[in-house]
């Protein structure tokens, strides 16, 4: 796995490089101190993955992510400092494959990058839920979406037409994904095989024309399939 590090703090980049350099299957191929450098180096080096900070000079991480993902096969994992980056929901539209907390331990960092490299989305549930609920609150003018009828897909309100293409079981699986559960955890929860869960998740993504699990989580909240505060 060839990784590009993008962070305006040299000490942070050095720390990540030291952590990743001891892994036999990971190579840090470059570093970028701002978003523009990240875009340019991604184009030149063609890494498999960019570990991207959000708040950087010249070009912020979200704008850089949009350019990188639009240009080719390189995936992007956004770095966030949970307490500050409430606007990271925009990174979903920019094409990010997931979020990683800056205070994550070394083992979680390495495991997360491998997960994305293998084709999965990296969801830190506490970050994703906070970002989505913050976005939903802004979109509804602060309305309480946890109350009955608060979401457009609420069973006591009007069903979201986007969900009509899903079977009842696929909706169940989508709810569990939005709760932050892995395929193995969903399989145990619903008493089915992990292969069956993978099929249902794949069907959800295909039917709803979504790129990955991150977008499925976003849609589950937006449609009211799962309410703010659940999970």
Which residue ranges does the chain devote to CATH 3.40.50.2300? 2-122
Burial of 215 by CB count in 10 Å (0-12 exposed, 13-18 middle, 19+ buried)? middle
Run of H or E residues at 80 = strand 75-80
- Show the tokens assigned to 149: 């009828």
Residue 205 sits at φ, ψ, to 5 deg, of: -65, -45
Architecture of domain 144-223: Orthogonal Bundle (1.10)
pLDDT for the residue numbered 151 = 42
pLDDT for the residue numbered 132 = 64
Which residues on adjacent β-strands are paired with residue 161?
none
Which residue ranges does the chain devote to CATH 1.10.10.10? 144-223
pLDDT in tens, the chain (231 residues): 999 999 999 999 999 999 999 999 999 999 999 999 999 999 999 999 999 999 899 999 999 999 999 988 899 998 877 655 566 677 777 888 888 878 888 888 898 899 888 877 776 656 666 666 665 665 544 444 333 334 444 444 456 888 899 999 999 999 998 887 888 889 999 999 999 999 999 999 999 988 777 778 878 888 888 865 555
The mean pLDDT of the chain is 82
Gap between the Cα atoms of 153 and 145, Å rounded? 11
pLDDT for the residue numbered 155 = 42
- Show the tokens assigned to 169: 């079981």
CB 203 within 8 A of CB 170: yes
CB 4 within 8 A of CB 10: no
pLDDT for the residue numbered 86 = 60
Burial of 120 by CB count in 10 Å (0-12 exposed, 13-18 middle, 19+ buried)? middle
pLDDT tens, position by position, 133-181:
665 665 544 444 333 334 444 444 456 888 899 999 999 999 998 887 8
Q: How far is CA 92 from CA 62, 76, 158, 180, 184, in A?
A: 9, 11, 26, 16, 24
Gap between the Cα atoms of 68 and 83, Å rounded? 26
Gap between the Cα atoms of 50 and 74, Å rounded? 7
CATH number of the structural domain 2-122:
3.40.50.2300
pLDDT for the residue numbered 162 = 85
pLDDT for the residue numbered 129 = 64
pLDDT for the residue numbered 179 = 82
Gap between the Cα atoms of 117 and 114, Å rounded? 5
Gap between the Cα atoms of 59 and 226, Å rounded? 34
């Amino acid at each position: 796995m060839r990784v590009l590090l993008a962070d305006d703090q040299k000490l942070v980049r050095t720390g990540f490089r030291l952590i990743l350099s001891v892994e036999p299957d990971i190579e840090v191929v470059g570093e970028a101190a701002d978003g523009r450098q990240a875009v340019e180096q991604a184009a030149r080096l063609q890494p498999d993955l960019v570990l991207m900070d959000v708040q950087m000079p010249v070009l912020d991480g979200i704008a850089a992510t949009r350019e990188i993902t639009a240009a080719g096969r390189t995936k992007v994992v956004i770095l966030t400092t949970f307490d500050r980056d409430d606007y990271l929901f925009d990174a979903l539209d920019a094409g990010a494959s997931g979020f990683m907390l800056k205070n994550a331990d070394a083992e979680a960092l390495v495991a997360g990058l491998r997960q994305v490299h293998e084709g999965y989305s990296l969801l830190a549930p506490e970050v994703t839920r906070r970002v989505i609920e913050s976005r939903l609150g802004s979109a509804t003018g602060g309305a309480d979406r946890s109350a009955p009828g608060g979401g457009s897909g609420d069973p006591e309100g009007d069903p979201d037409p986007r969900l009509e293409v899903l079977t009842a079981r696929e909706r169940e699986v989508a709810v569990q994904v939005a709760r932050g559960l892995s395929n193995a955890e969903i399989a145990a929860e619903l008493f089915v095989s992990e292969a069956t869960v993978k099929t249902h998740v794949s069907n959800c993504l295909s039917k709803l024309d979504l790129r990955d699990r991150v977008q499925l989580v976003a849609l589950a909240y937006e449609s009211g399939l799962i309410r703010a505060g659940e999970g």
